[in-house]
Amino acid sequence: MLDRLAPRIARRIRRLQIMIVRWQTAKPLKRRLSRSTDEDLDRALSAARMRRADLFTPFKGNARHRKRMAAMMARFHLDRAQACESSWPELRKADGLCADCPNMRRCVRLLKWGLRKDEARLFCPNAALYDRMAVAGNRRQARDAASGPPAC
């Protein structure tokens, strides 16, 4: 009888191990970025088949404050991939500010009911960073446009 149960038990243990690994790798996606190393974060992102820029999109399983950041970044017309590439340390700090924001209710209310870009500057601690990243992105686009198409 034990011979028949051993393979079943082994399969169940393996399934539980897989579930635990998935749960542990998803942890960095649900908490603030400052609590994870870049290596842990990259490992969790690769397990989910995502990039760092995808952290700032509203997907199921993402931290609530990061979903608000994604909405605010969209209001400032930021290219997420470019922002992550050029300003990753600043975005890590902004993530912590957003997680501890005392204006969270106001932010949620205004994002839900419509928000002009100017209103965010009144209460969002990350608005200045978003402005700087938007200006830098516009400069980069203008520089790329001025250089023209590549020569053949």
Amino acid 62: pLDDT = 83
Please give the average per-residue pLDDT across 58-71, as a whole number.
87
Q: pLDDT digits over 81-122, tens only?
A: 999 998 899 999 999 999 999 999 988 888 888 766 678 888
Q: What percent of the chain has pLDDT over 90?
A: 22
Domain-embedded: residue 73: yes
Amino acid 20: pLDDT = 63
What spatial distance separates the first Cα and last Cα of the chain, rounded to whole Å?
A: 74
Domain-embedded: residue 87: yes
Distance CA 119, CA 100 (A): 20
Closest to 137 measured CA to CA, from 81, 68, 65: 81
What's the domain count of the chain?
1
Residue 48 has pLDDT above 90, yes or no: no
Say which DSSP state 53 is in. Answer: G
Residue 22 has pLDDT above 80, yes or no: no
Domain-embedded: residue 152: no
Element (H, E) at 43: helix 38-47
Amino acid 91: pLDDT = 93
Residue 55 has pLDDT above 70, yes or no: yes
Residue 11 has pLDDT above 60, yes or no: yes
Domain-embedded: residue 151: no
Domain-embedded: residue 49: yes
Amino acid 65: pLDDT = 92
Domain-embedded: residue 9: yes
Mean pLDDT of all residues belonging to the chain: 83
Domain-embedded: residue 54: yes
Please give the residue range of the domain that contains residue 80: 2-146
More confident residue, 34 or 118: 34
Domain-embedded: residue 109: yes
Closest to 47 measured CA to CA, from 20, 14, 15, 84: 20
